C-alpha cells in the first residue's frame, strides 16, 4: 500500500503550521492489525506535540488506533513529492497456517484528522 504524494507544494513545516493541536509521529514503531486487515494500532519512533502550528515538545508512549476505512477517509493532507519515502518489510505475516510475504509502503508525510490516540505507558506498583 502506498499513498500518492500531494500535487500542491507542501513541506512538513507547511503541514504542521496548519495544525492547531495534534501529534506528529515520525518513524516506524509497534503495530498490530487483525486478520481481516480492518482494525489496527500503530506506534512510531518519535512523537511530538503540535500546538498552534508549532512543535511544542516531545511525547512518550503514543499509539493510534482506527479501522481501515475510517482512517483512510480521515486523510486531510499529504506533503508533496520532495517528502516521499518508500519503506519495506520482508516479514509481513498473517493467516492460519501462517503465511509470510515481503511488502512495501510509500508515502509523504500525511495528516489524518480525528484519529483515536492512546497512551501506551504502563506503571507498575
Average pLDDT, the chain: 91
| Cβ contacts of 82 within 8 Å, gap of 6 or more | 11, 108
Mean pLDDT of 91-120: 85
pLDDT digits over 28-70, tens only?
888 888 888 889 999 999 999 999 999 999 999 999 999 999 9
The whole-angstrom separation of Cα 88 and Cα 61 is: 24
Relative to beta strand 62-67, strand 75-78 is: unpaired
- Rounded CA separation 32/63 (Å): 11
pTM of the model: 0.82
Q: What is the DSSP string of 52-107?
A: TTEEEEEE-SEEEEEEHHHHHHTEEEE--GGG-EEEEEEEEEETTTTEEEEEEEEE
> Does the structure show a pLDDT above 70 at 8?
yes
> What's the confidence (pLDDT) of residue 55?
98
Amino acid at each position: 500500500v502506498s499513498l500518492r504524494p500531494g500535487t500542491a507544494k507542501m513541506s512538513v513545516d507547511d503541514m504542521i503550521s496548519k495544525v492547531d493541536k495534534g501529534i506528529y509521529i515520525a518513524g516506524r514503531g509497534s503495530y498490530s492489525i487483525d486478520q481481516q486487515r480492518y482494525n489496527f494500532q500503530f506506534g512510531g519512533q518519535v512523537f511530538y506535540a503540535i500546538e498552534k502550528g508549532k512543535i511544542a515538545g516531545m511525547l512518550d508512549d503514543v499509539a493510534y488506533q482506527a479501522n481501515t476505512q475510517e482512517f483512510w477517509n480521515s486523510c486531510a493532507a499529504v506533503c508533496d513529492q520532495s517528502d516521499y519515502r518508500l519503506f519495506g518489510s520482508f516479514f509481513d505475516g498473517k493467516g492460519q497456517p501462517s503465511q509470510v510475504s515481503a511488502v512495501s509502503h510509500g508515502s509523504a508525510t500525511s495528516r489524518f484528522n480525528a484519529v483515536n490516540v492512546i497512551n501506551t505507558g504502563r506503571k507498575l506498583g
